[in-house]
Structure 1
Amino acid sequence: MKKQISGFIMLFLGATLLPNLSSFLYSWALNGTDFEQNWILWVTASLTVLLIIFGILTLLEKTILIANFVILLGFIFFQGWMLWQNQFKPWIDNSEIGLLDYSRFLTFIIAFIGIAYLFIKTPGKTLTTTTDWQKKWRWTGVIFAILGLGASIVLAVIVLSGDKFFFTTPFDAYLGIGIAFFFLLAILFGFRKPDALITAPLLGLSFNFLTEYLWLDQILRKIGSQIGSQIGQDENTIVALKLIIGTLGIFASLFLMIATKKRNSKPD
């Protein structure tokens, strides 16, 4: 069970990197031979694939301990280096605290938890019993997923039908469609038996939407007065939708995860 938590964290972390990798590939497809490849692209791609594959293997109880440890450690070094170069070093050089990349900072910490769970001993099994309380959590999770699906579709429609944006690009619509797919899976499987193979990616993508909102909110607070005239109502709506989608997705994932737990009962 403990190692499965580590597998869930690995799949979650892989999902948080998916938008970054997709953004690289999207820019590559748009610019073709003019796109400049760098080591960050390949490290991001490698970590995304490895975290997802080995996270799934761990959830399927096919754990390769040393491989999981190396992958999570590599993720920690990569995120730590990116945080140093893009966050802490500029803060020190400028003697001023700037914008904080919540996504990298929080996933950097979560990766340590994933490593810790690799080495926590699994307790002995206890008898369990399934009761109707799980259905309440499952239905609550499904309702949040339905709302998230609707919000994701609205975001995609606004982006694809809009003309002029300052921050937003068509790629945001594709991200909306991508998370809508996982909301749909959560709805379909939530009625029967929620699975970590669905809730972990949904939680990771929702986390990305929420931290993207926090990033944009920092930018708007810092330079909003300078670019206020260039930001239309549709773009403000998109920023708000990212907060809504991220929040709904996190709650949907957590509620569906709770629905998979069983209450312990005393053995005879």
Structure 2
Amino acid sequence: MGWSELIARWGADGPVRGVPGGLSVTFEGMTPAEITAQEKSPDEVELVLEWHPPWRPGDAAASLFPLDRLAHACAQARSGLLHCTATSQAIQVRMTLYLEGLSRQSFVGVAAEMARAVTFLDEVGAEAGTQASELQEAERLMAEAQRSLEEAESKVASAPAGTGEARPEARAAAPEKQGLGPPPEASPPPSPPPPPNAAHAWQPTHRIAKGGEPAWSTPDPARAPVSQLNAGLEVQVSDEASGWANIICSNGWSGWVRAQSLTPLRGRRPGT
């Protein structure tokens, strides 16, 4: 069965249709393709399909995805019977069809394989276009930022003196020139006042008489005592008033006791 007879029998309807010079292939979910048929012999036909990228030779996508690399990727991704080669502006997908013993299923399968190759190239081409657009947008934003920076530097450099448009380094040095400088170190806090009676070392002058003695916070017997001092406790008398003595214990505690309850350590009683 020759090519013309094959087209007459199997190319009248369905996803693969015979057209002048080749085939028109339309499969669901695949890119429609126009395939050229070149008869090499009565039993051999070479099917050729050309894919043109959606970008121009000078576009960014052309440098990101060279056609020879795309052709190699297509050959690796599809059937080993496909031959993919790159020209200056397109990729050619070729496949040899042997007519002897060919079934309609094999015929449709060959056309579908070529349609898959075109679909693969279209998907890669769309991805290349997206990446190229993103790259171009990034380059545009970088160029705008560079122009803005150059304009700002030019404006600062050309500003006359006294307009407040000082150069950045001058503004940074301004505090030092104005004598501001770093803040002075904080002065240490003043020393706390010495505790009572710290100016003189504690020296016992009396002891509590036998039987012990209550102590008051003030020389007022109408108030309740604040402590009970043991007999024989040595104390220092710091003040005397109307029969009362202000005493200081060795631990710094102070209070008032009746002067008559104290016995001098050196033969002296308060008030005498």
* TM-score, with structure 2 as normaliser: 0.21
Higher helix share: 1
Of structures 1 and 2, the one with the larger relative CO (CA 8 A, separation 6+) is 1
* TM-score, with structure 1 as normaliser: 0.21
Higher strand share: 2
